[in-house]
């Protein structure tokens, strides 16, 4: 064994030998010499580590070129999101409206009046880009924007409750995906958490007993991603606002998703709007830009003028600010809300969520023969009813009736390995196709499939891949 391996190693070409090839010289022009040398070195090292190796310089060169092509692909590749989750955090949440994309592109190419008062010719404030729009759409006195809603909550807590107490119901001490836990954010913000009530029931008297001279704020948190049912009690925002006003402490309402319009008009469950939260008397309301609102990642804080002014004076604001590209996209997105009647046609998030089950089912029937042919006889493909989710913690219990394709291994009770091999192969396509495996079927929810032609063209590459059945 050792002898054969060392013979093979001796037969490996040198880096210089590989670099002399004509193909490699072409690659140098395209990728640059350092990248090509590194790829050849990596390829040789892999060959050496694997013991038996292709020995021709040409073979090594071809492998190095393949490596360079792979490295050339973007790490942020577009994918077909067929998971059924419209606002998928791991897939980048909201798709932007065309108007927002155009606005962002203009801002990228040009110098823009980001913090510049064109009337007076002196320094301005970047919040001005969206301030009036936000006030108009929410009924708030003033508004400011930061990197995301987590940053919004952090800034509010640090500004109003550093070295003081922040009062929250035990029923609202949420964790939103791994690292965002309300008690930890409080800690980092320098606020002392005062929990009131119990997990399922919090009464007004619990808040009354907790408010004192050290209170910095009362926080109400929208329990976005879970629901407590049964023997429950919470103090409504309006009642809490009255209490906070009487005791002269600010009430902050973290809405999370925070929609700007009544989603009921698109057939979804009514989610409290930012306007309602302001009307209920919250002094500040925080919400996300890239959840139900359908814009780029951002965090909004809207509410009372003097409190917004304090937030803007906090040096942390600078560390949490957003850039001109996203501000441009945000402004364009918010403007779409001035005409709610055309929102479903202009804003992808709303359009996708409002898409009817019949429409999606028709798409599934069109895609069925194409996919069935591509995956071959070993699989049984059928149109299936399914339920989409909004995602990003918005309306967690809301299942939006949808349709898609179900792919099962033919004749197998389970076929788990074959199915997961197929889903891997589909994720390795030029535009990876991401579905989900449920009850021994690979499910593609077609709610978010816009580009059917592109989807079909992309599937052509599946022929080139190893047939997953070989793994069975
Ligand atoms: C999602 C969410 C956040 C965090 O918002 P990001 O924009 O993801 O940073 C904070 N609070 C609530 C209630 C949320 O639902």
Residue 184 Cα, ligand 1 centroid: separation in angstroms? 14
| Listed residues 289, 317, 343: the one ending a domain | 343
Number of domains in the chain: 3
Q: What distance in angstroms lies between residue 144's CA and the mean position of ligand 1's atoms? A: 16
Q: Is 272 in the same domain as 413? A: no
CATH number at residue 439: 3.90.1150.110
- Residue 61 sits in the same domain as residue 119: no
d(CA 152, CA 250): 16
- Distance of CA 187 from the midpoint of ligand 1 (Å): 17
CATH code: domain of residue 126: 3.40.640.10
Can you read off the two tokens belonging to residue 224?
A: 């976005």
Q: Which of 306, 295, 251 is nearest to 129 (CA)?
A: 295
Residue 385: in which H helix or E strand, if any?
A: strand 379-388
Structure tokens at 159: 């500004």
User: Ligand 1 centroid vs 287 CA: distance in angstroms?
Assistant: 7
Low-confidence stretches of the chain (pLDDT beneath 50): 1-2, 464, 471-472
Range of the domain at 65: 2-72
Determine the Cα–Cα distance for residues 366 and 380; give it in Å rounded to an integer: 16
pLDDT at 1: 45
Same domain, 181 and 67: no
Q: What confidence score (pLDDT) does residue 222 get?
A: 85
Residue nearest to atom 5 of ligand 1 (CA): 149
The pLDDT of residue 200: 84
Residue 143 has what pLDDT? 98
Give backbone dihedrals phi and psi of 401, rounded to 5 degrees, phi first. -55, 130
What the block records as the tokens of 343 is: 């929102």
Q: Residue 93: inside a domain, yes or no?
A: no
**Judgement on whether residues 110 and 248 belong to the same structural domain of the protein:** yes
Cα four-point dihedral sign 108, 110, 116, 117:
negative
CA of 327 to the centre of ligand 1 (A): 19
- One domain, residues 267 and 202: yes
Which ligand 1 atom is at minimum distance from the Cα of 153?
10
> Which of 303, 325, 343 is where one domain is finished?
343
Ligand 1 center to residue 459 CA distance, Å? Answer: 36
* The model's pTM: 0.90
pLDDT at site 181: 84
Position in ligand 1 atom list of the atom nearest CA 223:
13
Three-state DSSP class for residue 433:
strand
Residue 107 falls within a domain, yes or no? Answer: yes
Which residues surround ligand 1 with Cβ inside 6 Å? Answer: 148-150, 153, 176, 180, 221-222, 224, 254, 256-257, 288, 299, 392-393
Residue range 111-130, pLDDT digits in tens:
999 999 999 999 999 999 99
Both tokens of 347, joined, read 């804003």
Cα–Cα nearest to 70, from 42, 50, 44, 29: 42
Q: Look at residue 397 in the predicted model and tell me its pLDDT.
A: 67
Final residue belonging to a domain, choices 285, 314, 343: 343
419 in the same domain as 369: yes
Tokens of 12: 């490996």
Q: Six-digit token pair at 83?
A: 């998971």
Per the listing, tokens 């399922």 go with 200
Determine the pLDDT at residue 472. 47
Of 87, 169, 178, 180, the one to substitute when testing ligand 1's pocket (max ligand atoms within 8 A of C-beta) is: 180
Residue where the block lists tokens 């604001």: 317
Do both 116 and 15 map to the same domain?
A: no
Residues 308 and 401 in one domain: no
Asked if residue 131 and residue 48 are part of one domain, the reply reads: no
User: Do residues 398 and 461 share a domain?
Assistant: yes
């Amino acid at each position: 064994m050792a002898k054969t391996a060392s013979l093979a190693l001796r037969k490996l070409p040198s880096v210089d030998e590989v670099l002399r090839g004509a193909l490699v010289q072409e690659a140098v022009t395209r990728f640059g010499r350092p990248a090509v040398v590194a790829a050849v070195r990596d390829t040789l090292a892999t060959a050496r580590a694997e013991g038996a190796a292709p020995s021709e310089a040409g073979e090594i060169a071809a492998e190095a070129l393949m490596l360079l092509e792979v490295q050339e692909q973007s790490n942020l590749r577009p994918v077909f999101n067929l998971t059924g989750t419209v606002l998928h955090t791991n897939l980048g949440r909201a798709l932007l409206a065309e108007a927002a994309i155009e606005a962002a592109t203009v801002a990228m190419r040009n110098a823009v009046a980001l913090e510049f008062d064109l009337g007076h010719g002196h320094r301005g404030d970047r919040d001005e880009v969206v301030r009036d729009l936000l006030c108009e759409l929410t009924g708030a006195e003033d508004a400011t924007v930061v990197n995301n809603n987590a940053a919004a909550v952090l800034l509010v807590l640090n500004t109003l409750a550093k070295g003081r107490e922040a009062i929250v119901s035990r029923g609202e001490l949420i964790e939103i995906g791994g690292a965002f836990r309300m008690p930890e954010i409080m800690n980092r913000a320098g606020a002392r958490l005062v929990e009131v009530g119990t997990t399922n029931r919090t009464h007004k008297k619990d808040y009354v007993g907790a408010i004192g001279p050290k209170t910095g704020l009362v926080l109400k948190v929208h329990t976005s991603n879970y629901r407590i049912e049964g023997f429950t009690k919470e103090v409504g925002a309006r009642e809490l606002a009255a209490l906070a006003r009487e005791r002269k402490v600010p009430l902050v309402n973290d809405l999370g998703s925070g929609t700007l319009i009544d989603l009921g008009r698109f057939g979804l469950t009514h989610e409290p709007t930012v306007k309602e939260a302001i009307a209920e008397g919250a002094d500040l309301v925080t919400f996300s830009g890239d959840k139900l609102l359908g814009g780029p990642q951002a965090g909004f804080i809207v509410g009372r003028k003097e409190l917004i002014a304090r937030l803007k004076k906090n040096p942390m604001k600078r560390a949490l600010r957003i850039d001109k590209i996203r501000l441009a996209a945000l402004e364009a997105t918010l403007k779409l809300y001035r005409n709610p009647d055309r929102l479903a046609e202009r804003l992808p998030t709303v359009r996708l969520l409002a898409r009817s089950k019949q429409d999606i089912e028709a798409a599934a029937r069109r895609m069925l023969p194409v996919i069935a042919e591509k995956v071959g006889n070993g699989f049984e493909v059928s149109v299936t009813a399914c339920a989409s989710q909004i995602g990003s913690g918005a309306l967690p219990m809301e299942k939006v009736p949808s349709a898609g394709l179900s792919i099962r291994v033919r004749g197998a009770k389970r076929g788990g390995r074959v199915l997961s091999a197929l889903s891997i192969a589909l994720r390795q396509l030029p535009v990876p196709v991401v579905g989900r495996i449920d009850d021994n079927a690979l499910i593609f929810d077609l709610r978010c499939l816009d580009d059917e032609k592109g989807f079909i063209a992309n599937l052509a590459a599946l022929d080139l891949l190893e047939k997953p059945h070989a793994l069975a």
